[in-house]
Amino acid sequence: MIAFANAKINIGLQVIRRREDGYHDLETVFYPIRMHDVVEVIESSETRFFASGLAIPHSHAGNLCLRAYELVRSRVDIPPVDIYLHKVIPVGAGLGGGSSDAAAVLRVLNDLFAIGLSDSELMAMARQLGADCAFFLRNKPVFATGIGDVFTDVNVNLAGYHLVVVKPDVHIDTAEAYRGVMLRPEGNGLSDAIRLPVAAWKDRIANDFEGSIFARHPAIGKLKADLYEAGALYAAMSGSGSAVFGIFEKRAELGQTMDACQVFYIDSE
Instruction: State the catalytic residues.
Output: 8, 132
- CA-closest candidate to residue 134, choices 124, 144, 143, 142: 124
d(CA 201, CA 195) in angstroms, rounded, equals 9
- Give the number of residues written for the chain: 269
What type of residue is 205?
I
Partners of 131 in the beta sheet?
none
Q: What is the DSSP string of the chain?
A: -EEEEEEEEEEEEEEEEE-TTS-EEEEEEEEEEEEEEEEEEEE-SS-EEEEEES--TTSSTT-HHHHHHHHHHTTS----EEEEEEE-SPTTSSS-HHHHHHHHHHHHHHHHTT----HHHHHHHHHHH-TTTTHHHH---EEEETTTTEEEE-----TT-EEEEEE-S----HHHHHHHPPP-TT---HHHHTTS-GGGGGGT--BTTHHHHHHH-HHHHHHHHHHHHTT-SEEEE-TTSS-EEEEESS----GGGGTTSEEEEEE--
Q: Is 146 left (phi over 0), alpha (psi -120 to 50) or beta?
A: left
